[in-house]
Amino acid sequence: FRSKLPNTAISIFTQMSQLAIQHHAINLSQGFPDFDCSPRLISMVERAMQAGHNQYAPMAGVIALREQISAKVEAVAGIYYHPETEITITAGATQALFTAIATVIHPGDEVILFEPAYDAYAPSVRVFGGIPKPVTLRAPDFAIDWRAVEGLMTPKTRLIIINSPNNPTARVLTDADYEQLARIIRDQHCYVLSDEVYEHIVYDGATHRSAAHHAELREHTFIVASFGKLYHTTGWKVGYCLAPAALMAEFRKVHQFNVFSVNTPVQYALADFLGYRDEYLGLGAFFQQKRNLMLAALAATRFRVLSCQGTYFLLADYSAISDLPEHVFCQELTTQHRVATIPISSFYHKEINQQLVRICFAKQSETLEQAAERLARVS
């Protein structure tokens, strides 16, 4: 068999979650909450099912949901996307990413992405014959040298993938970054895929800046969002994509033969639930409390925590504890100390050891406290 992804293994999130189960470890690896979503949202799904919303949704998504998303994006971010032509509901952010990549990438096209990178990007590019061009960012700041990015641009550069707030670095992009990005793609036949699934999870009074805040970038950008992150429902796999009408028309041509449409009753429920703004406006404060709990608890350990501006992940440096490569250290942490985390090296295409692990703190306080106790015994 001629594999399209010969060098791609089972995702590190699956691997570490399985190892956690095997060893009865606390699972701070794969990013998902260990608490439930709002009971009100669940009752809205039930109500939608009982009201008979059980057949195919429109290809682009239930219009009531697209209207609510349009209103939310306008109210929160001050950016307008037309519900009929510029918003499509997808099966999670993952499908939105995959479909956006499928929409623009022809064989031989080059795609700039920043490592550490979320694991879905490069394989999705390769499936369509694209060539990932990774830019290496390093701890502790993971700052982007935009001159270096500009140096990578060729007439074949078709897409630049960004992710802010960033998984796994927990850093956010600034208006200055977007200005540089806009300058680089100006007059190029190049698009931007902006993964903003953690848009509401930012800390210390910061506000999320979207690529779409930059008027010029907006015209070349696919924005990707996820209700899994917004409402603690990662298992529902519903998200959406925003893009200017001409790009969205092309996106939908692919989308209709990829999934065609997405879970109908959940879309109706989400449309209702989006009316309760406090549910998502309070998300940053909700997770900031968890982040702070984890920061305080880790202060009593030999792990050193890097600055965490957003997402529900933080990076912990274990160089005071061990010289082991990250994947071996994570393995031992799971099997011997029974806390599962993710090695940051798995977000790079080449061997790089910064002695960093990613910790997911989207967990109940008791889970975090118990994990911190175990981490305090690692020396």
Residues near ligand GLN, by CB under 6 A: 11, 13, 30-31, 167
For residue 158, give the 3-state DSSP assignment.
Answer: strand
Nearest distance in Å: CB 229, ligand PMP:
7
To which residue do tokens 């609510």 refer?
68
Q: Does residue 92 touch ligand PMP according to CB under 6 A?
A: yes
* Residue closer to ligand PMP (CB basis): 286 or 378: 286
By CB under 6 A, residue 65 contacts ligand PMP: no
Q: DSSP for 197-252?
A: TTTT-B-TT-----GGGSHHHHTTEEEEEEHHHHTT-GGG--EEEE--HHHHHHHH
**Is the CB of 93 or the CB of 297 nearer to ligand PMP?**
93
Q: Is 118 in the site for ligand PMP (CB under 6 A)?
A: yes
For ligand GLN, which is the closer residue by CB, 167 or 210?
167
Least distance between ligand GLN and beta carbon 32 (Å): 7
**Interface positions, 187-206, toward ligand PMP (CB under 6 A):** 195, 197
Residue placing its CB nearer to ligand PMP in the complex, 88 or 226: 226
Q: How far apart are CA 203 and CA 126, in angstroms?
A: 34
Which residue lies nearer to ligand GLN by CB, 68 or 367? 367
d(CA 269, CA 265): 6
Rounded CA separation 316/140 (Å): 10
Nearer to ligand GLN, 180 or 234 (CB): 234
C-alpha distances out from residue 254 to 103, 172, 362, Å = 6, 30, 33
Residue 163 in the binding site for ligand PMP (CB under 6 A)? yes
CA 338/CA 253 separation, integer angstroms: 47
Looking at the DSSP bridge assignments, the partners of residue 26 are 339
Q: Which stretch binds ligand PMP (CB under 6 A): 89-97, 256-264, 269-277, 340-348?
A: 89-97
264 binds, among ligand GLN, ligand PMP, none (CB under 5 to 8 A by kind): none
Sequence-distant (≥ 6) Cβ neighbours of residue 47 within 8 angstroms = 269
> Which chain residues interact with ligand PMP by CB under 6 A?
31, 92-94, 118, 163, 167, 195, 197, 226, 228, 234, 237, 239
